[in-house]
Structure 1
Amino acid sequence: MAKVLCDCGESLWNGEIPNQIEFHAFSDVQLIDMFNRLEKFEADQSNINDEYWRDRRDDILWPPINVWRCPKCKRLYAFEIDRDTASRKLKYIYKLEEQL
């Protein structure tokens, strides 16, 4: 669980699952690779218990980028995720531009 104070003053928190602020981003290449790994894993898992499957599934489905959207101003915060430590590092902040 993490907490971020948005530039607009809104407090963002991902402690509830599911939640309305957190999105998981994969590139097209990463998504195809994930599906390929899932297919291979499912084909090989005939004698594997549910606990092992849950642990392996989380490893396969771990997103490289985690995006939070402020419900108040719609600003986006993009975090890079370190799979080894399960930590996140703020990489980008996107502010919504006025529509023309």
Structure 2
Amino acid sequence: MASFQCKCGYVLSNSQAPDDVTIWAYTDREWDEITSDITDIIDLPNPRNSVWRCPNCETIYVFDEQNKLKKRYILDPEL
């Protein structure tokens, strides 16, 4: 997935590296499974879910392995 429009209208893109959108997040179980066989950081696979953060409004989006939106997390305005 190269781009996605945030609810605030900002166009998120991960087409450049590094970017300010992609968050690398592994579950603890996922990390244990992959690091038990990894000998070089270059062999580290992508996480099962892709997590993006909008640099404009800080909304967090979680996409599944087929790049389908699974969850959207919005900041609590009272914090």
Q: TM-score scaled to structure 1, two decimals?
A: 0.69
Alignment partner of 1:97 is 2:76: yes
Q: Which runs of 4+ in 1 moved over 2 A?
A: none
Equivalent position of 2:28 in the other structure = 28
Secondary structure, aligned partner of 1:19: coil
CA distance in 1, matches of 2:78, 2:26: 27
Equivalent position of 1:8 in the other structure = 8
CA RMSD of aligned residues (A): 1.7
Stretches of structure 1 lacking an aligned partner (at least 5 in a row): 43-53, 82-86
Identity %: 32
**Equivalent residue for 2:53, pick from 69, 85, 92:** 69
CA distance in 2, matches of 1:62, 1:71: 21
CA distance in 2, matches of 1:62, 1:9: 27
Please tell me the residue identity of whatever aligns with 2:2. A
Q: How many residues of Structure 1 are paired with residues of Structure 2 in the alignment?
A: 78
Based on CA coordinates, which of the two structures has the bigger radius of gyration?
1
Structure 1 position 32, deviation (Å) = 1.0
